[in-house]
Structure 1
């Protein structure tokens, strides 16, 4: 076990994935993957296209059926629970493309996402308590959008829309936040700011990030997990992963060149 993995194992486990297998029409998308995420830890998952990264997140939140293996959240077996049930337990998921309300303000988007909110119009028309307002302002501050609170989402840049959705996820008070390629389509400056936002989020949440941009991975990762062809190739610190010959062969070296 690497030093990074040993330290991770000493943390209180928030998420524990054991020998997870996912099969689609005979195709083995995941072939027995293990994953541990500790309290307030940032774990970054990398790997070539088709490695099973998004499928792993889908399986954790109940979007893809698990053929065998288990997903434990705070020690409770949540394997194949519905996405709705998983979200209520405290696991928040952001997908690759922003899923926001473009015709509403940034403030109202966060209001809709607050834990306990039910329905678009009911949430907006309900009395805005001081507690809700303070919570929304806190979320906007954490995702760098405090000055954009009363702007329509449609007026924002692509990166800022990504931050709105990250804010909508953390407004639900999850213990665990799953982010699927949160910097896709961003400018370099937006990408760097996203990294700082994620590090701020990790002060109160455990975070799992799927990402391709290795400079961004270096910025945020406390531990990296490398997937390849549905299996975990290795895990460790940035230095451990970058110097691993198998990772250089299948991801950082030949395959990255081929994909260029």
Structure 2
């Protein structure tokens, strides 16, 4: 496999994986002496769905934070399309094409679903100017496409405040993909959803993956089985293993530190 060499933070040579949209190399994050990530490696291919699982405190959200510049990287590298973006600001990373959705929906409740997507469109600047500016046919078509992809076409002119929790999550997913990212990062997108909403979210994510690479943090293993093309298991800040659903489910280490615990809790 071809690789490209770059200087690392500590001057040691490092390579990114040729062909990977997102490439994480030996990533370490330290908070007040606590090693939250201890050298994680991860590659994400084009239009691939990668699901990250692991016990609470495994470093899952910290990994996403480090990718988008929210948590400072102590050492290691984040490559995006082969370019080293380690410790770039969250604003820079978003502008480059990595979209992040957090656990709780961050939406404008008193605006319509349509206007929420309008505000998120790439190139829009400010709430007032975005809403009051002339709505071009291209923007309208783009918004309608996004609404259709997240299952909210019929809710386009409803206020977000009138939606269910799950639908609000879909609005924010729509706001992320409206920015045309190559990579979409989703942190527990089904938290608080009903079973039906959870299943629909899985179908939305599979639709999104036709045009975007998607990285999902999730605890619900049934949902993981629905969407995962590849599963990465984190434990205590390190990658325990990765593979298909069947490979991960049958891995003795994963059963011991995560799946077995989940089964006990469910009993």
5 Å-filtered alignment, 1:178-197, equals: 178-197=185-204
The range that moved more, 238-247 or 6-15, is 6-15
Listed one character per residue, the Cα deviations across residues 28-75 of structure 1 (whole Å, up to 9, x for unaligned) are 000000000000000000000000000000000000000000000000
Change (3 A) 1:256 1:28: farther
Runs of 4+ in 1 over 2 A off after TM superposition: 1-14, 254-260
Matched, 1:94 2:101: yes
Moved more, 139-148 or 250-259: 250-259
Deviations 1:74-102 (A, max 9, x none): 00000000000000000000000000000
Question: Is residue 4–residue 237 contact of structure 1 (8 Å, CA) maintained in 2?
Answer: no
Give 1:2 deviation, angstroms: 19
Q: Which runs of 5+ in 2 are unaligned?
A: 15-21
| 1:175 positional shift | 0.2
Q: 1:243 & 1:230 partners in 2: Cα distance?
A: 21
Deviation, 1:3, is: 21
Q: Identify which of structures 1 and 2 has the higher relative contact order when contacts are C-alpha pairs closer than 8 Å and 6+ apart.
A: 1
Normalization by structure 2: what TM-score? 0.91
Q: CA deviation at 1:254?
A: 2.9
Q: How far 1:257 moved relative to its partner?
A: 2.7
**Structure 1 stretch 246-255 or stretch 151-160: which is displaced more?**
246-255
The answer on whether the counterparts of 1:8 and 1:38 sit within 8 Å (CA) in structure 2 is no
Asked if structure 2 preserves the Cα contact closer than 8 Å seen for 1:9 and 1:38, the reply is no
Q: Which runs of 5+ in 1 are unaligned?
A: none
Residue 9 to residue 242, structure 1, CA distance change in 2 (3 Å)? farther
> What is the CA RMSD across the aligned residues, in angstroms?
5.1
SS in 2 for 1:208: strand
Is the CA contact 2:120–2:178 (under 8 Å) kept in the aligned structure 1? Answer: yes
> Aligned equivalents of 1:10 and 1:31: distance in 2?
15
Match of 1:123 in 2: 130
| C-alpha displacement of 1:10 | 29
Equivalents in 1 of 2:236, 2:95: separation in Å? 31
Quick check: 2:9–2:76 contact (8 Å CA) kept in 1? no
Contact 2:7 2:13 in 1 (8 A): no
| Aligned pairs, number | 260
User: 2:166–2:193: 8 Å Cα contact kept in structure 1?
Assistant: yes
Residue 189 of structure 1, CA deviation: 0.2
